[in-house]
Amino acid sequence: MNHDHDQDSGGLGWNKQRGNVWVDLQPMLDRLFLPFARMLVDNVRAGPAQAVLDIGCGTGAITLSLADTLGPSAYCTGVDVSEAMLDRARQRALATGAHNVRFIAGDAQRHRFSPGTFDAVVSRFGVMFFDDPIAAFANIGAAMRTGGTMTCVVWRSREENPFMTAAERAAGPLLGWKDEPEANSEAPGQFAFANATHVSRILAAAGWRDVDITPTDVACSLTEGDLITYSRRTGRVGAILPDLEDALREDVIAKLDAAFADFIVEGQAAFNAACWIIRAKAGSSE
């Protein structure tokens, strides 16, 4: 999913305030995560894929890019839990005249895909939120043709991604939040797949083979103006900021500005995204 800053795993939050924020910020977030879109599209283009599934497609950036790159003979399907983001994705498809795409509202863990349909599946930060990841990847695998490829990008650890945790670390003490995340770091959420061994076990148990999990560090950047919007509207802090009392909200904003100032160089916010690239092949569909 494009849901990399939120800690809830269900669709409820995505269909309400958080999904709406992602729609509002869609152009900015597409720019921010463009390197990952290119990475995933290049991986799919390297193979003979003609039917591609995008897990957690959000507002459709990767689904639409795949459809454009692979051409009209290919068919690309995006699935997401957020109706608001899917509405934007469909609007974008209409605006660009993309006829070889479709968008499905649903949870990829439970959605009944037609068996043996896809020869490639991709996801940008969308597979860490499943409440039963083994069941989810087994369900996705059943929708794949035998030997079909999966390429996912997920976050490595909190410690390796200080930009992604800056807001919570800065504002948490003012908001009464605990300094440390939940004891079970493998619970659904942004950093649920930080442990590569844990991910390998999940995929093996779900029937995937030839699993390869490779670290990658991607340079990302935002303008200083976009950073202000990003810091105040996304993630756990952004979700509650509008509802805080004025004085507390101003204090939190001051903390956010101070925390993110460390990432600004000559009017640009630059940071390293520490991720895993997960590659695997679907086993027998029987």
Supply the pLDDT for residue 11.
42
Instruction: Yes or no: say if 275 and 155 are a contact pair by the CB < 8 Å rule.
Output: yes
In the CATH scheme, what is the code of domain 11-158+183-220+274-282?
3.40.50.150
Measured distance CA(144)–CA(116) in Å, rounded: 5
Q: Which residues contact 187 (CB under 8 A, 6 or more apart)?
A: none
Residues of the chain with pLDDT under 50: 1-15, 183, 285-286
Supply the pLDDT for residue 19.
76
pTM: 0.91
Supply the pLDDT for residue 178.
75
Supply the pLDDT for residue 231.
95
